[in-house]
Amino acid sequence: MGFLQDFLPSSYHGSMILLFLFFINGGASLEISPQSSTGRDQAASCNIFQGSWVLDDSYPLYDSSQCSFLDPEFDCLKNGRPDHMYLKQRWQPLGCDLPKFDATKFLSQLRGKKMMFVGDSLGRNQWTSLMCMLTAAVPSSRTRFVKGQPMSSLTFLDYGFSLMFYKAPYLVDIKLDSNGRVLKLDSIQQAQCWKDIDVLVFNSGHWWQHIGPQQQGWDYIEVGGRMSRDMNRSLAYATGLKTWANWIETNIDPAMTKVFFQGFPATHFNPSEWNGTSKKACAGETQPVEGSTYPAGRPPLQLVVDGVLAGMTKPAVSLLDITALTQLRKDGHPSVYNEDRNAGAVDCSHYCLAGVPDAWNQLVYASLFSS
């Protein structure tokens, strides 16, 4: 179809996306079901990514006021959120129970190792959650925190364990040249910083939807030596993920490194998706969606993730399929109780801490240590 039909106009969606996924996977057919099977091998008795939220008086897992690493944008209680029931929600898979998060076991099993979250602020949301979960459980353990750009780290000195975050919203490279900021869909040189890590948790997605020079992180897109002002975002996302997938298959030994890809965390800006009537997006929501089914379907960009992972030839990546469980948590966002609350900002993308990302880390724990 030519060179992606000169990047294709932004109106191309649906079947064109699936056709492109067929193309980038070398002609291998893809069967994308509503629920990806990539993560199913992580629990023998059930799919730990399907379930519902239940009240549990033993929650939250930590006191957010005692976590010195908590970013102000995630600290909903400090920002004045008056309701507390969102803190008492526990993820309950259908057909089995998640193992209790044991911080001492986690640190002992990963003694002398490195774990890195790579991606955007949703990855930082999860990284911050894990720092709070671990330090709350082992408060006497000596730590060293280093905040940097693009990488920050917390080292548990008594265990020789490093927990890191590397900011890379698109995973592929952005380079400055005479044209400005260029998003290079087929370049991933920064990945050299991700080698020799024992556990990698990647995420990318939300930034691919940002439109306009003030919102997106680039001025031009380049692929195959050709630049464009823009292209179909789902196709751009698929191309970038394919570059990342090729790097994983070339550089990562599954016997030595465990790799997760964080699924697409749901946003709640459109109340019609959960049959709501509010005109203020997620603001004012205090309860999860009842049951285990979300009225809106699987997000289009998550279908892209499913397709790229299905096309990988090595079983090197486990999908941390948090899409369904986050879709149910319309109440879990900072909403108006965020760092910019005085400016009237409503955050329905990130999640409060303590809160929903703690469940993501419980799922990682179950995947690493329950077998």
Per-residue pLDDT tens digits for 5-49: 334 433 334 444 444 444 444 444 333 333 333 433 444 568 999
Question: What's the pLDDT band for 305 if we cut at 50, 70, 90?
Answer: very high
Q: What is the identity of the amino acid at 227?
A: M
At residue 217, what are phi and psi to the nearest 5 degrees? -95, 15
Mean pLDDT, rounded, of the chain: 88
Residues 6+ apart with CB under 8 A from 42: 48, 318, 363, 366, 367, 370
> 32 or 328, which is more confident?
328
What is the average per-residue pLDDT within 84-96? 96
pLDDT tens, residue by residue, 273-297 = 998 887 789 999 999 999 999 998 8
> What pLDDT score does 297 carry?
85
Compute the distance between CA of residue 173 and CA of residue 191 in angstroms, rounded to an integer. 9
Place of tokens 């691919």: 208
What is the average per-residue pLDDT within 314-333? 93
pLDDT of 304 higher than 70: yes
pLDDT of 319 higher than 70: yes
The pair of structure tokens assigned to 363 is: 């799922």
> What pLDDT score does 7 carry?
40
> What pLDDT score does 371 carry?
54
* Burial group, residue 267, by CB count within 10 angstroms (0-12, 13-18, 19+): buried
pTM surpassing 0.85?
yes
Q: Point out the residues that are catalytic.
A: 121, 347, 350
Write down how long the chain is: 371
pLDDT of 263 higher than 50: yes
> 299 or 91, which is more confident?
91
Which DSSP letter does residue 336 get? T
Place of tokens 């999640």: 351
**60: cis peptide before it, omega within 30°?**
yes
Specify whether the CB–CB gap between 168 and 150 falls below 8 A: yes
> What pLDDT score does 347 carry?
95
Compute the distance between CA of residue 162 and CA of residue 196 in angstroms, rounded to an integer. 12
Question: What's the pLDDT band for 231 if we cut at 50, 70, 90?
Answer: very high
> What pLDDT score does 17 carry?
46
Query: Of 329, 310, 163, which Cα lies nearest the Cα of 241?
Result: 310
